[in-house]
Structure 1
């Protein structure tokens, strides 16, 4: 991996603050990042000059049009989200449960598409949400596709935090589960990220054969049993294969 450039990292740190805030002032950015005031003013000034930030009222800043253009260009080219939504709609129509499409970002899962269950009782989630990969069926499918050396490096300095009492926090146990998922082609999760939800997921491959996303079906545990798990595992395999075909896999 190439050496990171500190100035570029700090610029991205500034921009990423706006993922959780509509507007920020230079003093607020300084406080949040712990950077010298002069450094923040230089960064903000440069980003504003290039159009990635723009001035708002009372010395505050918001994301600029250039940030929107980059995001729009990314979304326009993100076939995974567009094609995933199409397949998710088909799978959700067959099972009437919530269907997600997720991609991996480091040790997290980012949900890029979702179709809600048609049942009155269903899980609550949102496109754009992030969860620890090791706590979700989607995430474990994506982790299982990694070479083991890359997986070990990914978690070398990270603890496996728990979201529920069922979350896997032991590295060896996670490794054994990922090996099983790699053999079986389906990941299963029971109340590991949400105490009231079970889930199955399968990998999605592109034209090179690489795993680029995962498709999952999530079910409230009040509707979960062995027969449902078996049927949905078959369905999510079918859906992931159809998704892969749409990506040239």
Structure 2
């Protein structure tokens, strides 16, 4: 099978990112990052790192989003406990957005071209796919912590969404829960039933909406989402 032009470079980029994340994980563990990853333990460790504390928090969030060995919610809670609500929210959200953009870029480099060719008529993957639809899909999934931040970032990378739209939708969508966890720390718990129910509803909408729009290209919803080829 013939390897597409540019694949050695693409695989090299993906390998470099993977190696960088591995090195980052090993360095943080060597510096004493708690194995338990509880908000109290993490905040205590971060407070003991002096001026490097905010940097380590940022790097932990990047690592959590790109690779996923660290859950993002405890890190968000620790950010508020260690640096206060506003500063903690900004640090956690900035780190998560940076990690999301890295994951998005890796997926775009590796898989975007192939899916665009195979699914040229799909409003999610086509070259002229609806940016409005994709923006709201990313935004909604960011609101529910049950969705894997890393998985959504990689998945978005192979869609038609523009990078800046992905970044904006991710940042706006993650802010509410990041702020809540940074503000309430270990005292806050999500209601499992409500969280799972909301995630299921959003998942159903995201899986059925492209199919519906492909069958009803002239519907009012399609026009609102700017699926008109003349948009």
Same fold (TM over 0.5): no
Q: Which has the larger radius of gyration?
A: 1
Higher strand share: 1
TM-score by length of 2: 0.29
